[in-house]
């Protein structure tokens, strides 16, 4: 729970606040961009929500915060319950954002795919009763796709409870040495109808993306939407090999998609042609000799 005694001075006066335990992971800014912004090295409430929509989003951010750094002077039980019930948050086509980001993965986003052939969890949220029950109501979890070694979080607990198979690349196997399904090599492959695994080494040696229905691309920490600059972004630090990362970005040009669903960084949906143009522009910026941005 957030501590009002540690409330950051960068917060505006009012009910919602961020305290000094914030790790600046961006979760709150993604969920409630009208209320939260980055101020210095932390997030802060820069506009107090007044209307019902922004208030709902602020409570979603409070619940999703991986370190409990968001608090209220006076909590509204009804709004809190409504925000809790909204997770997993459906995006489109049976794909949902799980919420309840985990501190173990530095607040990375995780996602859920409801599929008649077996449901998928993409990376892992915190292991919570609310999510376990929500996943049970949707038919459980058959597969847990781990984009890379940093965002494993509580995958082991979900796998044990649901009997799910965890997928990870051989190059990142140290994070899940007992994984049930280990992906080898660098070639993209359709591992079952509608599901294509695309190795994208760079951030880590074993980073992978998952393409679902040629529409939804789950990217881990390989690719994201920069909501400030309004363009696709990719890591420029904490990178295993920069030239390999640049090649992995270009590799995605072989695949059509409309959604980028990132572990860190914002998500976005664009028409496939516009998404391709964005990806081409990013690939161009990452060519050797260009300034990384």
Asked if the domains at 4-71 and 86-285 fall in one CATH topology, the answer is: no
For the segment(s) 86-285, the CATH number from 1.10.3720.10, 3.20.20.370, 3.90.1150.10, 3.60.15.10 is 3.60.15.10
Question: 97-120: per-residue pLDDT in tens?
Answer: 999 999 999 999 999 999 999 999
41: left (phi over 0), alpha (psi -120 to 50) or beta: alpha
Instruction: For residue 264, give the nearest of 7, 44, 27 by alpha carbon.
Output: 27
Residue 237's pLDDT is 87
Kindly list the domain boundaries of the chain, sorted by start residue.
Answer: 4-71, 86-285
Write the CATH number of the domain with boundaries 4-71: 3.30.70.20
149: left (phi over 0), alpha (psi -120 to 50) or beta: alpha
**CB-based contact 144:164 (threshold 8 Å):** yes
Question: 170-191: per-residue pLDDT in tens?
Answer: 999 999 999 999 999 999 999 9
CA distances from 144 to 16, 97, 109, 194 (A): 35, 14, 14, 16
292 pLDDT above the threshold of 80: no
Residue 50: count other Cβ atoms within 10 Å of its Cβ: 12
289 pLDDT above the threshold of 70: no
All residues at 6 or more sequence positions from 267 whose CB lies less than 8 Å from its CB, including other chains: 30, 91, 97, 109, 224, 225, 259, 260, 261
Residues 113 and 145: their CA atoms lie apart, in Å, by 11
pTM for this structure?
Answer: 0.96
**CB-based contact 100:131 (threshold 8 Å):** yes
Residue 230's pLDDT is 96
Question: 225-270: per-residue pLDDT in tens?
Answer: 999 999 999 998 889 999 999 999 999 999 999 999 999 999 999 9
């Amino acid at each position: 729970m957030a501590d009002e005694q540690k409330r950051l001075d960068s917060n505006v006066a009012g009910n919602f606040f961020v305290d000094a335990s914030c790790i600046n992971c961006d979760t709150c800014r993604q969920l409630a961009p009208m209320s939260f912004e980055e101020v210095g090295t932390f997030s802060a409430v820069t506009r107090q929500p007044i209307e019902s929509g922004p208030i709902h989003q602020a409570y979603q951010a409070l619940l999703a915060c991986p370190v409990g750094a968001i608090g209220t002077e006076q909590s509204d039980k009804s709004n809190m319950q409504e925000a809790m019930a909204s997770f997993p948050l459906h995006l489109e086509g049976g794909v949902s954002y799980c919420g309840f980001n985990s501190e173990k993965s530095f607040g990375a986003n995780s996602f859920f795919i409801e599929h008649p052939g077996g449901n998928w969890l993409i990376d892992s949220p915190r292991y919570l009763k609310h999510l376990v029950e929500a996943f049970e109501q949707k038919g459980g979890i058959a597969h847990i796709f781990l984009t890379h070694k940093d965002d494993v979080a509580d995958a082991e607990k979900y796998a044990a409870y649901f009997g799910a198979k965890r997928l990870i690349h051989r190059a990142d196997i140290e994070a899940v040495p007992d994984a049930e399904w280990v992906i080898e090599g660098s070639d993209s492959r359709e591992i079952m109808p509608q599901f294509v695994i695309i190795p994208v080494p760079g951030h880590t040696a074993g980073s992978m993306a998952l393409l679902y229905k040629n529409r939804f691309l789950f990217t881990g920490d390989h690719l994201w939407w920069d909501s400030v600059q309004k363009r696709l972004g990719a890591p420029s630090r904490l990178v295993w090999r920069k030239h390999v990362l640049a090649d992995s970005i270009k590799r995605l040009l072989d695949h059509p998609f409309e959604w980028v669903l990132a572990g860190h960084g914002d998500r976005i949906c664009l028409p496939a042609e516009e998404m391709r143009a964005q990806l081409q522009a990013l690939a161009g910026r990452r060519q050797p000799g260009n300034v990384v941005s």
